[in-house]
Amino acid sequence: MKILIARMNHETNTFSPVATPLAAFGTNGPAWGEDAYRENKGMRTAMSAFIDAAEHEGAQIVTPVSAAANPSGPVAAAAYDAICDAILAAAPGCDAVMLDLHGAMVAEQTPDGEGDLLERVRAALPEAPIAVALDLHGNVTQKMIDNADVIVSFKTYPHVDMYETGEHAARLLLARMAGRARPVLAWRRPPLLTSTLRSSNADGPMGRAIEAAREAEAQGMLAVSVLAGFSLADIPAPCISVVVVSDGDAAAAEAVAERIARQIWDDRDEFVYRSPPLEESVARAAQVAKDVQTTQGVGKPVLLLDHGDNCMSGGTCDTMDLLEAALAQGLTGMVSGPLCDPEAVAALIEAGVGARVTLGVGNKLAREGAAPRAPFMATGVVRAITDGEYVISGPTYTGQRAHMGRAAVLDIGAATLVVTERTHEPWDLGVFESVGVDPRRACFLLLKSRMYCRPVFVPIAAALVECDSRGVTGSDYGLFRYARLARPVYPIDQDTGWGGHQVN
């Protein structure tokens, strides 16, 4: 038995000015062939689980590519072609296919990156079963449904079940090949744009939907996935989906998909996040810090999460709104970062550790339709310069080496700024500790993050305040110019009805 295993992950924010060339898919581009195998073997990705499952069966495996990039703008045409062509070139002679995909990829030549790839794989291997592991924020399309035999998505956000999702998808595919199961897919996609901050599985409407999915699995469905979708994509339907895999019972699968989709639609208003003004959020953080100090006498930092400029949704990591608002309200003892500004990093490196400098930081990549802003003028002392690398301690991407690009630390008095060459999610305390900054000693931690920082930073913090800088990942859909979006869709259209049909 020969199994094709590959990874192609990108969540595309079509409004993001951050480019996505081939080099963005990894430290220096994708890993190919044996390097793709080594990059995933022993790790916690869905591709890692595919490799383990195939090897357990004694299968011959081929791993043409492992390509994963941070969310950003549309994938360059040449990059998309290179990754897909590598997968297709490895297809001849394979008996099965296991693909670790995101589900929300938009390339310059296609709004349905995964659907187009699956269609080509199916054409190349019409008899080979195909299993797909998807991110919880995938935008499911008809092509994806038509050209996959098994689809399973993450059930957690932050995503800590990537390996388990791959394990689940592989188990169902191998059961199909052995004649132990007959996977049948059903799908529903209500016309609902969900806010990323409302897609945590811990509670709320998404938590209830995920619980309903787990209950359906316990009652006999092979797999039930609730995909929140990724709404910051100007495609026809960047909407929430329910995908059900049953064992040969199409009617049962359809009934489960319909029931959970109806539950989601009834809860639709709870899937919308409405941000208070940034100044109110900063004032609240200042008051929380005072209250904590008064009642508890502890020195834990207050987290200010700048979810309007979150790189894991395509943010530039260079909007300075939150820092400027915090300084205007007199906050001190701040640590802010990672701020992405390659020009500033180069200038700080040239100045050297110990040098006192004045330079512009950030505000250099405006979202579509936004007026350009002047950089934040920072005056301070260069405290550290590093290669920006560290090892993630977990729980997300545990053990993987992270690359922020070269990094520099600038102390401006009221705040310590960690400035990097690459956009980077604060997965880990290593973001700061690797450059000699102890985040536990800050009064306020200004992080460009929505969710992934929480498992690591919430335990060391006194409180958390969500802050919307109205950047390229802001929660207000009015900030973005949708041209391809199928209408009506909730919440942009308040009088939206849904009769169970798909939006194609």
Tell me the residue range of the domain where 68 lies.
2-271
The reply to whether 311 and 387 lie within a common domain is yes
The reply to whether 342 and 241 lie within a common domain is no
Tokens of 304: 């200010």
| Sheet hosting strand 444-447, strand order edge to edge | 356-361, 376-386, 407-411, 415-420, 334-340, 444-447, 302-306, 463-467
The reply to whether 224 and 319 lie within a common domain is no
Per-residue pLDDT averaged across 295-302, rounded? Answer: 75
For the chain, give the percent of residues with pLDDT over 70.
97
Number of domains in the chain: 2
Per-residue pLDDT averaged across 462-466, rounded? Answer: 95
d(CA 360, CA 91): 50
CA nearest to 41, candidates 58, 66, 23 = 66
Cα dihedral across residues 401, 20, 130, 245: positive or negative: positive
Per-residue pLDDT averaged across 439-459, rounded? Answer: 94
Q: Are strands 31-32 and 96-101 parallel, antiparallel or unpaired?
A: unpaired
Which residue carries 């004694």 as its tokens? 58
pTM above 0.85, yes or no: yes
The reply to whether 151 and 288 lie within a common domain is no
Domain stop point among 224, 247, 271: 271
The vertex-142 CA angle with 48 and 68, nearest 5°, equals 30
Q: Are strands 31-32 and 65-68 parallel, antiparallel or unpaired?
A: antiparallel
The reply to whether 246 and 282 lie within a common domain is no
Q: pLDDT tens digit string along 12-62?
A: 999 999 999 999 999 889 999 999 999 999 999 999 999 999 999 999 999
Tokens of 462: 């006194």
Contact 3, 94 (CB under 8 A): yes
The reply to whether 380 and 461 lie within a common domain is yes
The reply to whether 256 and 326 lie within a common domain is no
Taking the alpha carbons at both ends of the chain, their separation in whole angstroms is 37
The reply to whether 283 and 374 lie within a common domain is yes
The reply to whether 149 and 252 lie within a common domain is yes
Query: Is residue 6 one of the residues assigned to a domain?
Result: yes
The reply to whether 114 and 176 lie within a common domain is yes
Query: Is residue 488 one of the residues assigned to a domain?
Result: no
Query: Is residue 436 one of the residues assigned to a domain?
Result: yes
Q: 290: part of which helix (H) or strand (E)?
A: helix 278-296
Query: Is residue 433 one of the residues assigned to a domain?
Result: yes
Query: Is residue 493 one of the residues assigned to a domain?
Result: no
Contact 68, 10 (CB under 8 A): yes
Contact 321, 461 (CB under 8 A): no
Query: Is residue 463 one of the residues assigned to a domain?
Result: yes
Q: Categorize the per-residue pLDDT at 348 as very low, low, confident or very high, splitting at 50, 70 and 90.
A: very high
What is the predicted pLDDT for the residue at 370? 77
What is the predicted pLDDT for the residue at 127? 96
Per-residue pLDDT averaged across 113-117, rounded? Answer: 98
Domain stop point among 271, 306, 326: 271
Mean pLDDT of the chain: 94
Domain stop point among 246, 271, 296: 271
The reply to whether 376 and 463 lie within a common domain is yes
The reply to whether 291 and 420 lie within a common domain is yes
Contact 407, 430 (CB under 8 A): no
What is the predicted pLDDT for the residue at 504? 37
Query: Is residue 479 one of the residues assigned to a domain?
Result: no
Query: Is residue 377 one of the residues assigned to a domain?
Result: yes
Q: Categorize the per-residue pLDDT at 366 as very low, low, confident or very high, splitting at 50, 70 and 90.
A: confident
